[in-house]
Amino acid sequence: MLLAGLEKGLEEKDVRMMSPLVLAYIGDAVYEVYVRNFLVRQGRATVNDLHKEATRYVKAQAQAEIVHVLEYELTEEEWTVIKRGRNQKSATTPKNAELIDYKYATGLEALIGYLFLCGKTERLVEIVKRAIDIINRA
């Protein structure tokens, strides 16, 4: 079954052993889905409008800003995941972002991936809601 295993998280110790870039890979997709869901529920009219609006939330600069605002709201464990993602050497270089923003964005995506894979859905939703709120206030 394609969706087998999604109903519960993985063992936290196993998720901790994953590469931060693997966590960021899944976190990027999860965050994108939450943002798209939020925008669709806001009643945006066209796919083009949805796409333009989504970029406000998912671009590296915005994600870096989210990390800086959330820093003191995160647990030590969550901040450790962000730092691991931020400090990981990536094979790609940012096209339209400052390197430091790109690194912090990778950290945020790693945290989202970590929470998702551990099945910490309540905390995941809390952080994504805060992220959306932070960008809406910017």
Is 11 buried (19+), middle (13-18) or exposed (0-12) by CB count in 10 A? Answer: exposed
| 2 domain residue, yes or no | no
Q: How far apart are CA 49 and CA 79, in angstroms?
A: 34
What CATH number did the domain enclosing 99 receive? 1.10.1520.10
Is 118 buried (19+), middle (13-18) or exposed (0-12) by CB count in 10 A? Answer: buried
Instruction: List the domain range (segments joined by +) for residue 102.
Output: 13-137
| pLDDT tens for each residue of 100-124 | 999 999 999 999 999 999 999 999 9
Nearest to 81 by CA among 53, 103, 43, 108: 108
Q: How far apart are CA 137 and CA 110, in angstroms?
A: 24
| 1 domain residue, yes or no | no
When divided into structural domains, the chain yields a total of 1
Catalytic residue positions, numbered: 28
| pLDDT tens for each residue of 9-45 | 789 999 999 999 999 999 999 999 999 999 999 987 7
| pLDDT tens for each residue of 49-105 | 999 999 999 999 999 999 999 999 999 999 999 999 999 987 677 778 899 999 999
Residues in the chain: 138
